[in-house]
Amino acid sequence: MLKGVFPVEKFNTIPTPFYYYDVDLLQETLDFAKTEADKYSFHLHYAVKANANPRILSIISGYGMGADCVSGGEIQAALDAGFPAQKIVFAGVGKADWEINLGLDHDIFCFNIESAAELAIINELATAKGKIASIALRINPEVDAHTHIKITTGMKENKFGINLSMVGQVLEELKTLKNVRLIGIHSHIGSQITDMSAFRNLAIRFNEIQDELEEMGVVVEHINFGGGLGVDYYHPNHIPTPAFDNYFAVFHKLLRIRPGQQVHFEPGRSITAQCGSLISKVLYIKEGEVKKFAILDAGFTELLRPAMYDAYHRMENISNDDPVEIYDVVGPICESSDVFGKDVELNKAHRGDLIALRSAGAYGEVMASQYNCRSLPKAYFSDTL
Ligand SMILES: *Cc1c(COP(=O)(O)O)cnc(C)c1O
């Protein structure tokens, strides 16, 4: 069984469960993303919600990327980590007044607007400060992302974004608002998208949308395609970096950009997923009538994705190479959804063995909770261990 490379000796001295980040892999991923985007002068804003660990954020900001934030707390975290305010975009369907004011005070690059109601409030708050807020309209392009229903966002009748049929109306309203300036159009159709045809459809749809906008006399300075590029959860050792080359090439090939127009992206998962693992210890092996359970000291309080999205994470026994056996791998939380995987192949597990849950660098540590009065997991880094 091919396994990732982990400093198991050092792990044995650290209380479990904890997150472990491979800094070399993060940097390799960032290099790849940046190189491929730079080929076409595309702009990147890292989606902070995927992983807001301060060390991770500061490594990413070191690559000159911007940040995509969905709360005031994330804006503050991005600023603290060195992301320039002029490269921060702020999205989210429910921006509170204080969050909008924080963005206005720092003159962030752009507010991505999700409703006409929000637009009016941003105009009002900007007026009170004597400022002009730069905004982009988040449009639902009605492109199917072919991904999990709980992470699909670009279809009609979704709480996110503005439906295509209502864009004209919002543009009319914009004309009456003096303290907002339309600089872009935005979309984010979903997450963990591995089928490039969804991105092809998105690029083509945006050509049509741009044509329609132009008929209404609107040409924007930038187009933002959000995030969504998927990673290979099944083969983190063979395919550690996502297909940034194919991804950006699709947009370069299909998109008809207007003169001087910029193209932006907001990758989250694709940047951080593969560099992180949740390291946990086997507490008990419970022999059932037909099943065998490996009970870990980590549960959905540390890694929520399997319980929340039925997500798959590859698991490896990194303590021994005994012949493989089949387990249901579960956590200690008092909920029957606290299961990491059923019929999982692991090298025979014993009490005290370390189990690595792979590809946990995105939507892992950030979603941890203290349910059952547990402590939040700590994070360790390959270069400072
Ligand atoms: C979540 C989110 C992203 C990042 O999505 P990934 O699938 O992690 O790349 C980008 N933009 C917006 C608006 C988001 O909500």
Domain ranges of the chain: 8-18+274-381, 23-273
Please count the CA atoms within 13 angstroms of the CA of 184 that sit on its side-chain side.
27
Q: What's the predicted TM-score (pTM) here?
A: 0.96
Residue 19: phi, psi to the nearest 5? Answer: -95, 140
What is the structure's pLDDT at 158? 75
What is the structure's pLDDT at 159? 83
Nearest atom of ligand 1 to the alpha carbon of 186: 13
Q: Which residues, in sequence order, are bridge partners of residue 287?
A: 292
Q: Is the CB of 68 under 6 A from ligand 1?
A: yes
> What are the 10-residue block averages of pLDDT along the chain, 385 residues in total?
90 97 98 98 98 98 98 98 98 97 98 96 98 97 74 67 91 96 96 96 96 94 98 97 98 97 98 98 96 98 97 97 97 97 98 98 98 98 96
Q: Is the CB of 47 under 6 A from ligand 1?
A: yes
Q: Which CATH architecture has domain 23-273?
A: Alpha-Beta Barrel (3.20)
Nearest atom of ligand 1 to the alpha carbon of 49: 1
- CATH class for the domain made up of 8-18+274-381: mainly beta
Task: Give all strands (DSSP E) within 99-226, no chain letters.
Answer: 110-113, 133-140, 162-163, 180-186, 222-224
Q: In this structure, which residue's CA is closest to atom 5 in ligand 1?
A: 227
Angle at 369 between CA 365 and CA 371, to 5 degrees: 150
Q: Is the CB of 269 under 6 A from ligand 1?
A: yes
User: Using CB atoms within 10 A of its CB, is residue 204 exposed (0-12), middle (13-18) or buried (19+)?
Assistant: middle
What is the structure's pLDDT at 144? 80
Distance CA 357, CA 273 (A): 11
Q: In this structure, which residue's CA is closest to atom 10 in ligand 1?
A: 227
Q: Is the CB of 49 under 6 A from ligand 1?
A: yes
Q: How far is the CA of 341 from the centre of ligand 1 (A)?
A: 25
Residue 89: which of 254, 227, 229 has the closest Cα? Answer: 227
Helix, strand, coil percentages (3-state) for the chain, rounded to 5, are: 35, 25, 45
What is the structure's pLDDT at 164? 87
